[in-house]
Structures are given as C-alpha cells and as structure tokens.
Amino acid sequence: MPLSFSATRELLASLGHQPKRFLGQNFLVDGNIVRKSLDLAEVGPGDTVVEIGPGLGTLTAALLAAGAEVWAVEKDRTLHSHLEATLATRPEFAGRFHLLEGDAVEHPLAALPVERAAAGFKIVANLPYAIATPWLDGVLSGPLPTRMVLMLQQEAAQRYAAQPGTKSFGAISVFLQAAFDNAPGHKVGPGCFHPRPDVDSYLINLVRRPAPYVFAPAVKAIVRACFQQRRKQIGALLRTHAPAHAADARELLRAAGLSEQARPEALPVSWWMRFAALPALA
C-alpha cells in the first residue's frame, strides 16, 4: 500500500530529507492513483517496466508486487540509498529490481539493455515535471515502449496531446503523436501529493502506434527551429532552416492542399512525417 500523507512526512523526516522542488519531488500519497497507473498501463507478471524518479518507492513497490521487472533511475542520492536499503533487499523482489543512480535525461530508459528493450517494455512513472519534455525527447529516439503511463503537470499533458491549429501544438506534439496514440487518461488533483503542487496533474496514457514513426535527429532540429519561430510562415522558415529541401517541401505543401503562408502549428503531424521522409532527409 502507498504511504499516507503522515507516513510520507515521517519517513522523509527520518531520512533527514526535504523535498526538492528543482527535482520535482512531489510524492504520491493516494493509493487509488497508484492502482489507476497500473491499470492504465495493463501491468502484469513478466512485464518489463521502466520507472523515472521512483522517490520513496510507492509506485515501484506496486509494480514489483504486480510481478513486473522494474528498471528505475533516481537522481537523488538519499532516495537512491533508501530504495537500495528497502526494496532492493526484499527477497520477493530479488532479480526484478534494477536501480540506477543518475540523471533520467541522460538515461531515459534507466539503463535497460537494448536487447531487453527490443523484446518489449512499458514506462510507468510519476515524472518529475522539470525534465518531462527533454526526457520524453530522449525516449522518442527509440527503442520505443509499447505503452507509457506518465504523471505529468496538466499543462504538459495538454501540450503533448494538442491538435494542429492550437497554440499548444508544438514540436514535441509532432514527435510524440507520430509514434503514439492518446488513450483515455485520468485527472489528478494536488491533494494526491506531498508536498502539494500548485497545479493539477494528469495521468497521460500513450499506446504505441502500429507503425510508429521516429524522427531523425537532423529533422528534429529543423522542426524545433520552425516551432521556435511559430509566428512566421512555413515557406520562409523552410527556406531559412532547410534551404536544400525547401523546394521539395513546397511540393509537399501543395500536394496536401496547404499554403506556404501557413504557420508551423497549422500543419498536421502527417505532413511533418512526409517532410521527414523526403529522400534527402530520411
């Protein structure tokens, strides 16, 4: 069972640990949300699961109890030591808990071996808000999980699921939606955490598409550059950031019935995928 609000405070005090805002340390104290995370991800015996920022181990223990093998990365040394001294020593979890001390942006899959990743894995995490987008960008470089259930700041969740033509639609929306479909998620209030965050959260539920598309690093750089100047027209942006491919991109726009005067946020994910697949870029 997850630690209650009072038990979480007592454990943190016994560790001499003050939650660090810059690491996004808001500890989950609601058992219903832990169960919801596992249900959405359909976690079961034999699953391989990556967890980011396990903290005090509330979600981690539930994943292990469900029969999963967990690969986790924790940056905070005190919390890493606590997990090593508690979960890692429990005989029922022997051989199924792999804990890395490090930065999740540098280790987005928590050192999960490539051959294990290729066999299929899921990501279930109460994601530290400060690293959400750079971490996700690393995950989207592949190999891709079959499922991701992520606790996010609601604003980030809305940005990832944003549709073309909206202000929230950006480069990360394109990269994510090219590879994953959004399944129904779950809204989470501030009272489910200690300390209580200033914003609402959301459990986003992402299912890998049957034919997921992974953007090459060079193309990602072009897409990001276009969205960083999102008030400019796409024709001008492509002449600036992809001059060698601007003519082919104009043909793609015409074929899709889109205008060179359109702004980046107006172009659907499918167009960006066709642009990325141009022979000179692919």
pLDDT by 10-residue block (mean), the chain, 282 residues:
77 85 82 96 98 95 97 96 95 96 96 96 91 94 95 94 95 97 96 91 97 95 96 95 92 95 96 91 67
Q: What is the pTM of this model?
A: 0.94
Residue 282: predicted pLDDT: 60
Contact present, 159 and 132 (Cβ < 8 Å): no
**Do 133 and 258 belong to one domain?**
no
159, 189, 208 - which closes a domain: 208
CATH number at residue 195: 3.40.50.150
Contact present, 154 and 202 (Cβ < 8 Å): yes
Residue 1: predicted pLDDT: 55
Q: Which domain holds residue 27?
A: 5-208
**Do 111 and 23 belong to one domain?**
yes
**Do 204 and 221 belong to one domain?**
no
User: Does 281 reside within a domain?
Assistant: no
User: Does 235 reside within a domain?
Assistant: yes
Rounded Cα distance, 18 and 89, in Å: 24
Contact present, 167 and 144 (Cβ < 8 Å): no
**Do 165 and 127 belong to one domain?**
yes
Q: 137 — phi, psi (to 5°)? A: -60, -40
Residue 22: predicted pLDDT: 72
**Do 125 and 262 belong to one domain?**
no
Share of the chain residues as helix, strand and coil, in percent rounded to the nearest 5: 45, 15, 40
**Do 38 and 164 belong to one domain?**
yes
Rounded Cα distance, 152 and 114, in Å: 26
User: Does 79 reside within a domain?
Assistant: yes
208, 230, 264 - which closes a domain: 208
User: Does 282 reside within a domain?
Assistant: no
Whether a cis peptide bond, with omega within 30° of 0, leads into 128 is: no
**Do 140 and 102 belong to one domain?**
yes
**Do 222 and 256 belong to one domain?**
yes
Residue 184: predicted pLDDT: 94
**Do 65 and 137 belong to one domain?**
yes
